Structure formats: structure tokens, C-alpha cells
Chains A and B, each alone.
Chain A
Amino acid sequence: MENILEIKDLTIQYRADNRIVEAVNQLNLTLGKGESLGLVGETGAGKTTTALGIMGLIPDPPGIVTGGEIIFEGEDLLKQNKKRMRSIRGKKISMIFQDPMTSLNPVMTVGSQIAESIRIHERCSKAEAATKATEMLELVGIPGERYGEYPHQFSGGMKQRVVIAIALSCNPELLLADEPTTALDVTIQAQVLDLIVKLKKEKQTSMILITHDLGIVAEVCDKVAIMYAGEIVEYGSLEQIYNHTCHPYTKGLFGSIPDLDSHVKRLSPIPGLMPDPADLPAGCSFCPRCTCACERCESENPQMIEVETGHFVKCFQIGKEEEHV
């Protein structure tokens, strides 16, 4: 399958007062056309920073992309000038943000916020953009008459629908959904997620879904990348990650999910906290919390190994187990 997005060795840092926070470290990722990738990890793992990096929206200062390549449809996004990036943002790559409460401009009508995006990328009159924006509203399940209303007149779920309408208004090739359901009620979560999946299928959009909810990933995604301290630690198809879990961190994540069928009284959370990204361990960044860490893990950062076709793991222990076998 043709790749729509290829990220190679992406490194993003935040610099402030002599402190360097390594938000994303040597990240590698590929996404095929039409695929959905779930990017899973704890808060602060660098998921949003990666997405903002793809959009070219890392707040600078303090954020700097210090290295790597983001190849989208054959061109390196990091090498494009501002004008070219503006024509890609919103048109070819668009993003759904985490908090619908604050993502919409409170003093503009929702309709005009959708129409704005259409006006920027498609040569059309104001009236045409308004018509299309009304269609988009209806597509996400909001009556067209509400075009002239302001964000404060909508509920959280409705606002997120508006944000989705903005993101999809120009039929993007790639959709970055940054925890699109985190701020919503569980019942609304399902609705919004269904909507995203439906529209994605209709428009043949590739998607990176950022979340920390493995349940959502299982429902929506074809591939999964597990992110920890700015790195991808495990990457593979849905089936590979869920049924042949390899990395100790991924195992820990699954261990933290309550299971109704099992009779275990307590969950088994991962002990400890994520390392301070301004002071990462010399070796494997998961080593301090890992239950099966060895001496080598402390001093040396493991490389990605392909354990089966398309299933990559960044851990020394994996090779070892196979050796034992």
C-alpha cells in the first residue's frame, strides 16, 4: 500500500530557561493511504506535540523541531515555506482538537467558522462558502438553521461536531484527531466517534487518532502505535498489538484496563511515573518502571526490532525471549 505519511527520526524539543524538554525523540511512523492509526500513550508522552509537528503548528518559542523528516505525499513538510504550509493546513491535513469548549472562537458564529476554512482553500464566493458550510453542519448532524448561532449556544458534543465539520470541510487527505472524545460524556463519545468513522469512510481520509483509550482504538483503528516518553515503543496492526502484546509498557497498559470477566479484585497499574522529559534516562526510557529490566536496559537505548511482519517493538527483552525459545 502507498504511504501517505512517513515520519523519520522526528525530534521536537521545548526550550525554556536553559531547560531542554525532549517532547518527541527520534520518532518513526508510517501511515498508509486510507488507514487509521491509533497513537496511544499517557499524558505527556508527546502525542499532541507529534500531531502539531505534522501541522507545523509547534508554538515557537519555546518549541523547536530539531531534526527528522515528515514526508507527506512525497514532500518533506519541514522543508516547506510558510505559504505552502498554509495551503496544506486545513486543506490536505486537518486537525480535530481535544477540547471543543475552547477550540471555537466565542465571538464568531459557528457557520462563519466553517465557511472561513472553505473560503481559504477553495476559490468561491462568500455565499457559496456559506452554502457549503451549511451542508457540512447538516452532515455532522446539526440543523442548518443553526448556522448563525454562537458556540456558547451549543453543548459540548455539538461543539465537537462543529470542530469536526471545520476539519472535514475541505476533504482533507489526512485527519489528525487529538483525543476528540476526551472532553465529552460517554454517550456523546460514542456518537462523535461513530460520526468521525462514518465521515472518514465516506471521504476516504487517512487518520491518526490520538487517544489514551485502548477501547476506542480497538473500535476505530487498523494500526496502533504505542508512545512512551516521546518515542514509539511498539507499533503494529490492531491484531498484533492486542493479541501478541510484546512491549512491557503495552502489557502494563492492558493490565490497567478493568475486565469484567476476570475475577481479579485490583487492577495492575504500571508502577511509578513517566520520566521527566527534561531529564530522560540514558538507556531505555521505560527502564525505571519496567518489571523485566536488565543492566543493558539502563545504559543502552534499544533499537526497534521487527518481531513479525509489520510488528515493531523497542525492547531488548524481546530478542532474548526468542533466543530462549
Chain B
Amino acid sequence: MSKYIGKRLLMMIPVLLGVMIIVFTINFLTPGDPARMILGDGATPEALAQVTEELGLNDPYLVQLGRYIGNVVFKLDLGESYMTGKPVFEEIASRFPTTVKLAIFSVSISVLVGVSAGIISATKQYSIFDRIATSFSLLGVSMPTFWAGLMAVLIFSVKLGWLPASGSYGPEYWVLPSFTLGLHSSATVMRMTRSSMLEVIRADYIRTARAKGQKEKWVIITHALKNAMIPVVTVIGMQFGGLLGGSLLIETVFAIPGLGKYIIDSISTRDYPVVQGGVLLLAISFSLVNLLVDILYAYLDPRIKSQYKAAKKKKGGAKNAESTC
């Protein structure tokens, strides 16, 4: 298993290099002059030329790319923000915890609501609860988060005055954004859990469990759930990965100083090092979440675990064969 994880971590290297090259190239091709953004509209052509030269933006594409990748790989240096002059790493590090917090809160809500509603819907298919839950989840899937967020602000902050509308100062500030995001993604999780559960509870081994005289509750919890969770875990992982990249719309609606909003702001100010650093972090978190999901698979399904092991053995076997030749 540890060998598998090591292999997967090594496989991240080409992915991340690719991400770096693509993001850098897109930035390079994007029209707009960072020097003008830094100095403002009233800047003299001399000053502009000087800043452009200082930032190294006159160098050819490959030189700039090589410098960027070299700095990241060998010095772990993401560069400095054009706007603030502070290291990009610091800028991102100060915002990332906010985004992670929001992502964890939202995913917890989404799992709690989505998985339990999905299980109940599947076990009581076509009941009133099932009908209500599936209609709500359809609503949740089709409703854009920013609109849901605005409506939540309108109702709970403006009309009822129960919760603050924006900012991130205390726990109460997290309620609306977490619930807006969480309930939105719980709709997808619920649909996935329901359909996966429906498939599993018709399986022969569930009938075997019932034939043992097991209580229905335990049939669902011990036999069905673990089998039904694989596609659900995939969906949850994807959503968590997406949320780690910052949920731009929600961060904007609720004025939360997270990573998503920062990256978008940096794009409009042509703050290239920040954009590159931000996207790289996003790629790393996405890959790590994916790896975590794959490890969870092995825990959920012993057949997948033995596949990981078999791949390892096969490799070892091939080596042995070579050495005997």
C-alpha cells in the first residue's frame, strides 16, 4: 500500500509540471501590461519601460518559463506579488486556511445531509420523504450557488436579521456560506447515494443478510452502506477538491477573503505570480484529495486493495523473471 502511495505521489510530478507550463503560457499570452497595472494610467513611458525591464517581462518566453520553473522547483520560490511586493507564498498562505475552513464546513454539511437523506430515500423508495428529498435535490442541483447565497442573505440577514451577511469574524459568519455551499453539494451527494444504494439493496448478498434474520437497520448499515459508498466517496472527493480551490462566487457574495476571490482579483490586475502560485496550489490539493479518495477505496473494498497489491506483485514478478534470464 505504501509503495502504491509513493508511486502515486511520484506521478503527481508530471501533472504539476504540466499545470505550471500551461498556466504560465496562458498568462504569457494574455493581453494586458502588468507594469501599467502597477503604475496606473498616468505613468510615463520611461517608467513603464523600466518596470517592465525590472520584472523581466522583456525576456523571451522560454527564458521566462525556465526562470519560473527553476525558482519553484529548486528554491521553492513562487515569486513576489506584483501588486504588494510580498512573497506569493505568504499571500496565499494567509488566505488558504479560510478557504480550507469553508471547504471542510461545507463538505461536512454536504456529507451529513446528502448521505443520510440518500440512504433514507433509497430504503423508502417512492415514499413521501423520498419524493420531497429528490425534488429538493433537483432544486439544489439546478440552483446556482450565488443566487442561493443571495437569497439566503436576503432572508436570513436582511429580512430576519438572524445572521450576519458578510465578512469572516466569528463562527456566526460561517453559517450562511457553509450552508449555502454544503446544501448545494449535498444535493449531488444525495442523488448519488440514493441511486447507488438502490442498486446495492437489490443485490443477492443483501437477501442473504436478510435470510440470516438480521434486522433491517443492520442490513443497511453493515451490508449495504459500505458497498454503496464507492461512487459517493468519489463525488465527495471531487467536491472537496473543487472547494479547496476556493468557491469564488460564494466568497464574493459573502465577502470572505479566500483563495478563489484572490486568484480572480489577481487575474484582473495581471498579478501573474499570484495566479500561477494559486493555481499550482489548487492542482496540488486536487491531486492529494484524489489520492485520498483512492486510498479510501481500498479501505472500502478489499477487491481494490488486492488489485493494488497484485500490481505490486506483478512488477516484482517481472523483475525476478528478468534476473533469472
A complexed with B = yes
The answer to whether the Cβ of A312 comes within 8 Å of any Cβ in the partner chain is no
- Looking at the complex, which of B63-71, B92-100, B296-304 is the stretch in contact with chain A? B296-304
Q: Check if B303 sits within 8 Å of A102, measured CB to CB.
A: no
The answer to whether the Cβ of A120 comes within 8 Å of any Cβ in the partner chain is yes
Q: Check if B210 sits within 8 Å of A57, measured CB to CB.
A: yes
Q: Check if A86 sits within 8 Å of B204, measured CB to CB.
A: no
Q: Which of A86, A104, A153 contacts B208 (CB 8 A)?
A: A104
Q: Check if A121 sits within 8 Å of B209, measured CB to CB.
A: no
Q: Check if B302 sits within 8 Å of A91, measured CB to CB.
A: no
Name A56's closest neighbour in chain B (CB-CB).
B210
Q: Which of A55, A99, A153 contacts B211 (CB 8 A)?
A: A55
Contacts of B205 in A (CB 8 A): 102-106
- Looking at the complex, which of B12-20, B150-158, B212-220 is the stretch in contact with chain A? B212-220
The answer to whether the Cβ of A87 comes within 8 Å of any Cβ in the partner chain is yes
The answer to whether the Cβ of B9 comes within 8 Å of any Cβ in the partner chain is no
Interface 0/1 of A155-180, CB less than 8 Å to B: 00000000100100000000000000
Name B229's closest neighbour in chain A (CB-CB).
A107
Contacts of B215 in A (CB 8 A): 86
The answer to whether the Cβ of A152 comes within 8 Å of any Cβ in the partner chain is yes
The answer to whether the Cβ of A90 comes within 8 Å of any Cβ in the partner chain is yes
Q: Check if B204 sits within 8 Å of A87, measured CB to CB.
A: no
The answer to whether the Cβ of A228 comes within 8 Å of any Cβ in the partner chain is no
For the complex formed, measure the closest distance between the CB of B122 and the CB atoms of chain A, giving whole angstroms: 14
The answer to whether the Cβ of A108 comes within 8 Å of any Cβ in the partner chain is yes
State A55–B226 Cα separation when bound (angstroms): 26
For the complex formed, measure the closest distance between the CB of A186 and the CB atoms of chain B, giving whole angstroms: 23
Residues of chain B from 238 to 296 with CB closer than 8 A to chain A in the complex: none
State A43–B170 Cα separation when bound (angstroms): 67
For the complex formed, measure the closest distance between the CB of B123 and the CB atoms of chain A, giving whole angstroms: 13
Known: A97-B207, A105-B227, A107-B300. A152 touches B212 (CB 8 A): no
Number of interface residues of B (CB under 8 A): 21
Name B300's closest neighbour in chain A (CB-CB).
A107
State A166–B210 Cα separation when bound (angstroms): 12
State A120–B212 Cα separation when bound (angstroms): 8
Contacts of A150 in B (CB 8 A): 302-303, 306
Known: A150-B302, A152-B302. A106 touches B213 (CB 8 A): no
Q: Check if B207 sits within 8 Å of A105, measured CB to CB.
A: no
The answer to whether the Cβ of A247 comes within 8 Å of any Cβ in the partner chain is no
For the complex formed, measure the closest distance between the CB of A202 and the CB atoms of chain B, giving whole angstroms: 21
The answer to whether the Cβ of B223 comes within 8 Å of any Cβ in the partner chain is yes
Known: A86-B213, A91-B213, A102-B203. A107 touches B302 (CB 8 A): yes
The answer to whether the Cβ of A116 comes within 8 Å of any Cβ in the partner chain is yes
The answer to whether the Cβ of A94 comes within 8 Å of any Cβ in the partner chain is yes
For the complex formed, measure the closest distance between the CB of B168 and the CB atoms of chain A, giving whole angstroms: 41
For the complex formed, measure the closest distance between the CB of A282 and the CB atoms of chain B, giving whole angstroms: 35
Name B214's closest neighbour in chain A (CB-CB).
A120
Interface 0/1 of B298-325, CB less than 8 Å to A: 0011110010000000000000000000
Name B208's closest neighbour in chain A (CB-CB).
A103
Q: Check if A105 sits within 8 Å of B213, measured CB to CB.
A: no
Interface 0/1 of A81-102, CB less than 8 Å to B: 0000011111100110101001
State A84–B272 Cα separation when bound (angstroms): 71
Contacts of B301 in A (CB 8 A): 106-107
Q: Check if B211 sits within 8 Å of A116, measured CB to CB.
A: no
18 sample A-B contacts, Cβ–Cβ < 8 Å, listed by A number: A55-B211, A57-B207, A57-B211, A86-B215, A89-B210, A89-B213, A94-B211, A95-B211, A99-B204, A103-B205, A103-B207, A105-B208, A105-B223, A107-B301, A108-B222, A116-B222, A120-B212, A166-B208
The 6 closest A-B pairs by CB, nearest first: A90-B213, A102-B204, A89-B213, A90-B212, A105-B205, A117-B212
